[in-house]
A and B are shown apart, each in its own frame.
Chain A
Amino acid sequence: MKNPINGLNKVFDNRIRLGVMSVLVVNDEVNFNDLKQMLEVTDGNLATHLVNLEENGFIKIHKGFIGRKTNTTYAVTKAGEKAFSDHIAALENMIKGIK
């Protein structure tokens, strides 16, 4: 029998990282401030988790400019999308498997 928690991803253990992924899978490109507002976290905290997600290859960062101000946007990668949907499927299996 397949282990129901196969597919659970260590990276998504964290509430903020999971939140970032949840926002990015339904929005093409989201900037830092919108992520911050949506997840109600501090700058530093969010930045750390974004770096972590990027290092895992789950999100890509695009640095742009609006006038002189930098505008950094984040988008989910193919790998990120796959890992996220596997994670959700594993969570759902856990609930079903135990019932």
Chain B
Amino acid sequence: MRVRLTKFSAEQEQDLHDISLINTANTSIIGTAMIDKHAIADIPTIHMPILSKTAVDQESLTQLDTLIDTALYLAPFGAFLAWCLSLQAINIRQMNDLGLVSVFPPLLLGTIVFITACFCILLYRKRIRISALCVYFALLIIMLYGVNTLIEEMPRFASVYKHAGYTEYIMRTGTVDPTLTAYFSWPGFFSLSAFITKIAGYLDILNFATWAPIFYNIFYFGPLYMLFTSFTNNKRIVYLAIWLFYLTNWVGQDYYSPQGLCFFLYLTMIAILLKWFKTSPHAGPNSSVRCSPKLPFLTGLYRWLTAPDPLTEPLQLRQRYTLIVCVIVIFAFVVFSHQLTPFFTILSVFALVLCRRCSLWWLPLLMTVMTVLWIVFMSQSFLAGHASDVFSGFQLSTSLSENVTSRVAGDAQHLFITRMRLVMSLFVWGCACVGGFLRWRRGYQDATIILLALTPFLLFVIQPYGGEMLLRAYLFSQPSMVFLIATLLHDVPLLKKNSWRVAANICLCLLLLGGFCLTRYGNENMDYMTNDEVAGVRHLYSIAPAHSLLLGAWDGAPWQQQDLEKYVTATLPRPSLHPQDGAVDFSHAIATGDTNSIIKYIQFRYPKQGNVYMLFTRSQKVMFTSMAGFPPSAFDHLENNIATSGHFTLIYSNPDARIYQFLPQGGTR
């Protein structure tokens, strides 16, 4: 009998390693992974070729290989240097509504393309070099998520300034007042922020908040690694999935915010549960549930959902208890830090327990009790005003309207970006579906991954969350989606040759990178804040007496960063601070430049407000023209009419901010 010796690529060896684990008789411990043959009974039998020893032998590396490896080590540093130099060519003031891409020099984009291509080549070398990969990941994070920090004058995004205001309030008063803002019903993040800012000797969070995207994305690496290594032993898929995560994380929730940090904590909790608390492979399908012979599809689905994962990690009893305590402590932080993340966590853990993917059956119950207790006892004031929003049941049409339809509006460039975001999301989900399907065809039991990918969308059905739920659902489902995409090219039978696989991965990564640059940086013209804008707002706070009404011409100004309780703050799109007033619509007034209705509203609604100031800034104007769908000249026309109405007087002006003071009786001042 002839035995054919086959030389395998490193990746094929990894596959074979997985398969050899699968085919090991009974229970065996290889490395730290414990595999049980009963648990993987559904995985198809694959012909076992004989491994050539030379394939794994380090000494078989030729001189050419060594040269290539050295070049791949040095390549990212060269690319990073070129990237740093290319930053100098950016003139951010010339940015249009396509965002940062409109001012990126070709060299900058070229360096990111280069580093991505080098990563794909490095990943499929015979030996995985962890140190080199870590360099690539670190530089990618800085290049993708640090570019705003390095080229912009001030921390980006109006919400960061509001978060600075919440932090400043806690630093100054040592308390929280939930009647001021709903965020004070979940003060964990902001009180931690106040504590750090105070003992670090900073005046406000703006000193370090601008670095948040870099640090958050570095933090995400660890739990993603834990999560993906609980899905597969193939390190190439793990690293590729993490790379794809960074190329598809366009939703931008990683600014200085509770949700950015809580997403890291969510990933950590899920990773702990899937790393160490999977249902034992000995358990087998639940025999207590009878499957109807009339519904064979449901029987198959049930078996697929409840089939145990083969990859489990051995754990001592003491370690088990301490890790459970860790999960509870981390979840406690999440419960009092963010209103939404606990529900994503509960849904995911509940789905895992329900489908017997996690052995801690009591954990979702405990998590639910903790969340409910916090809401009932600690966020009563929020609940009193928003009970109808929270408990309104299924709102699929509202969610679709607020999250999709109403967002596809604005000027042509903003519309393009919005549509690109939809296309990018659909592309990611589509690729993940194909990847999942191919794995299912090959016999993988991916119920855990599918459950984690789908459960976040349940909240989208229930709650529109002010038009942001789809973004959050995308974010929370993203780890599972990118894992399935990473397996996509791995499982395509046509790509057996390593070089083809590398080329296909480079193409996929570049496609996602192109989408990322448009979708991630597409709103930057609105989110970007200038020194002059912040200086204008600071001047406003320095002159406005307590209890003044601060009226913004539109959303998007970098304000509310201090003295939260001392001022009444409103904007023309959201003028009413009193829910009983009903909706007040200034759309027509803004579009036609009619200031009379605005003046009458101020006189009627705020007669006791001693001082009323109106703020016009650059970021408001950009948001107005790109998102609201008004003609570009309408904002300037409105400001001009305000200035000449006789009821306002200009008291401060710089190139990016103007402040007008309201004169109740009209006339000049």
Same complex origin of A and B: no
Which residues of A approach B to under 8 Å, CB–CB? none
